[in-house]
């Protein structure tokens, strides 16, 4: 009989969000009236319409496919030059950051890229993740055989967990131990924290010292509103020698259902073979994408390109302002309700301490049954998340104001 990948059997029962969906469904089935009042502030999914610039660009692209002369078949696996150029120019070179067009790899999602990047890395790496952590970083390492079994708290053997706590403002300190690969996510999902320039400088210094690879997930970059907070890891000198950056159009352009993202792999980034030879990672990622991917839909890439047009930029800003306005409403309501709150300033997520003696999942169940609001239990992101919950600001203003009113009564 064919062998399966045994590592999959190490995975804990459910990815966080299916478990939330299960509990919400059970509650709604049992309480049909309360179900009508339900407001979802759980999963970080956008709610507002796709920008007009994107829809216009996609309509135009669909029409192009209807004529032989403008039809597009297989595109470059790495993304069309028009989009790679728009990204490199607008997100990097316009800010004085050196990123070449061909260091941009267009993909169908940051979740995919964060998982797929392990394809080009060896099994020998010591991997560090934050705790709490976006579960995909951990689960994809489990699947790839880079961990042992999970313990009772859900932590996997072999991973180095770096606690994010109130004491460090939910930005993990640089550890004393060496890690070969470190996942960083700023603005952070789930805590909404951001790293200052000094904190990122410390991480880059760490990586250069240990010759570690930083996997920098900046999917929420567009939500940074305070001046001085770096938007890209490449703002830190030396990062081109130690960091891959992931970005997405999901949360700025409202692309969660449209699907487009990108990964930056600098040509100056090296890794080593088991025998100690050093090789650039750029050609490996290029080979991975050429062999196991066939590029993003032409229509979608034209949509993504339009986000960099003058109308597109204005429309993205309006979306960000809407969600960050929501975050401000939620933040005030949570603070007024006497809760301790982090995030929601440079990120669409609020990270809230549960009232004393109440666990994350107890809070989830109480918010669901008493306030009919879906939140995300902090413990779902790791044991250091116990005692917290995440509120997502992705919603209509009316729904968010209703959540604020319910929090006041809760």
Helix (H) or strand (E) holding 373: strand 373-374
- CA distance linking residue 220 with residue 185, whole number of Å: 9
Give just the sign of the alpha carbon dihedral 143, 149, 154, 158. Answer: negative
Task: Name the residue nearer to its own copies (CB basis): 153 or 290.
Answer: 290
Query: Cα separation of 98 and 96, whole Å?
Result: 7
Shortest distance (Å) from residue 75 CB to its own copies: 6
Pick the piece of the chain touching its own copies (CB under 8 A) from 11-19, 324-332, 340-348, 356-364: 11-19
* 259 forms part of the interface with its own copies (CB under 8 A): yes
Query: Quick check: 326 binds its own copies (CB under 8 A)?
Result: no
**Residues 346 to 405 in contact with its own copies, rule: CB under 8 A:** 396
In the DSSP assignment, the letter for residue 368 is I
Q: In the window 28-47, what residues touch its own copies (CB under 8 A)?
A: 43, 45-47
Closest distance to its own copies from the beta carbon of 6 (Å): 5
Q: What are the tokens at 373?
A: 């609001």
C-alpha span between 9 and 353 (Å, rounded): 33
- Got the DSSP string for 257-294? TT--EEEE--TT-EEE-TTS-EEESHHHHHHHHHHH--
Residue from 115, 163, 175, 238 binding its own copies (CB under 8 A) = 115
Site for its own copies in 233-252 (CB under 8 A): none
191 contacts 349 by C-beta, under 8 angstroms: yes
Q: How far apart are CA 11 and CA 141, in angstroms?
A: 10
* Closest CB 167 distance from its own copies, rounded Å: 29
> Residues 41, 204, 271, 316: which binds its own copies (CB under 8 A)?
271
Asked if residue 268 binds its own copies (CB under 8 A), the reply is no
116 binds its own copies (CB under 8 A): yes
Ranges within 45-74 binding its own copies (CB under 8 A): 45-50, 52, 55, 58-59, 62-63, 65-68, 71-74
Whether residue 385 contacts residue 132, with contact meaning beta carbons closer than 8 Å, is answered with yes
Q: Which is nearer to its own copies, 121 or 404 (CB)?
A: 121
Site for its own copies in 125-144 (CB under 8 A): 125, 136, 139-140, 143
Cis peptide before 187 (omega within 30 of 0): yes
Q: Candidates 293, 320, 337, 355: give the one binding its own copies (CB under 8 A).
A: 293
Identify the CA nearest to 246 among candidates 118, 338, 141: 118
Figure out which of the listed residues 81, 287, 321, 370 binds its own copies, where binding follows CB under 8 A: 287
Q: Which stretch binds its own copies (CB under 8 A): 188-196, 225-233, 293-301, 313-321?
A: 293-301
**Interface with its own copies (CB under 8 A), residue from 10, 23, 93, 288:** 288
Name which of 319, 130, 136 is nearest 222 in CA terms: 319
């Amino acid at each position: 009989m064919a062998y399966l990948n045994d590592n999959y059997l190490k995975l804990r029962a459910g990815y966080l969000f299916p478990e939330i969906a299960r509990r919400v469904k059970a509650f709604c089935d049992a309480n049909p009236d309360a179900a009508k009042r339900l407001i979802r502030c759980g999963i970080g999914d956008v709610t507002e319409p796709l920008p007009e610039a994107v829809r216009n660009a996609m309509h135009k692209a669909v029409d192009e496919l209807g004529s032989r002369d403008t039809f597009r078949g297989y595109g470059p696996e790495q993304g069309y030059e028009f989009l790679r150029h728009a990204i490199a120019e607008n997100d990097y070179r316009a800010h004085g950051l050196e990123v070449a067009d061909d260091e941009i790899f267009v993909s169908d999602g940051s979740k995919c890229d964060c998982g797929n990047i392990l394809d080009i890395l060896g099994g020998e790496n010591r991997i560090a993740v934050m705790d709490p952590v976006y579960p995909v970083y951990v689960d994809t390492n489990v699947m790839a055989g880079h961990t042992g079994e999970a313990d009772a708290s859900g932590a996997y053997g072999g991973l180095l967990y770096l606690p994010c706590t109130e004491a460090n403002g939910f930005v993990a300190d640089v550890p004393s131990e060496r890690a070969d690969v470190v996942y960083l996510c700023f603005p952070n999902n789930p805590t909404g924290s951001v790293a200052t320039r000094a904190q990122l400088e410390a991480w880059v210094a760490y990586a250069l010292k240990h010759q570690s690879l930083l996997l920098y997930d900046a999917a929420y970059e567009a939500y940074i509103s305070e001046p001085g907070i770096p938007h890209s890891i490449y703002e830190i000198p030396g990062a081109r020698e130690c960091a891959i950056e992931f970005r997405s159009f999901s949360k700025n352009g409202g692309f969660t259902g449209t699907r487009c993202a990108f990964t930056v792999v600098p040509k100056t980034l090296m890794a080593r073979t088991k025998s100690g030879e050093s090789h650039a990672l750029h050609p490996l990622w290029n080979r991975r994408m050429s062999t196991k991917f066939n590029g993003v839909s032409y229509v979608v890439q034209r949509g993504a390109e339009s986000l960099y047009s003058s109308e597109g930029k204005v429309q993205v800003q309006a979306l960000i302002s809407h969600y960050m306005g929501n975050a401000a409403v939620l933040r005030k309501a949570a603070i007024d309700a006497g809760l301790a709150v982090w995030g929601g300033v440079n990120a669409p997520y609020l990270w809230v301490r549960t009232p004393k003696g109440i666990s994350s999942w107890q809070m989830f169940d109480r918010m669901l049954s008493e306030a009919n609001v879906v939140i995300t239990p902090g413990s779902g992101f790791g044991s250091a998340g116990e005692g917290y919950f995440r509120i997502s600001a992705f919603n209509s203003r009316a729904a968010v104001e209703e959540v604020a009113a319910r929090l006041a009564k809760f």
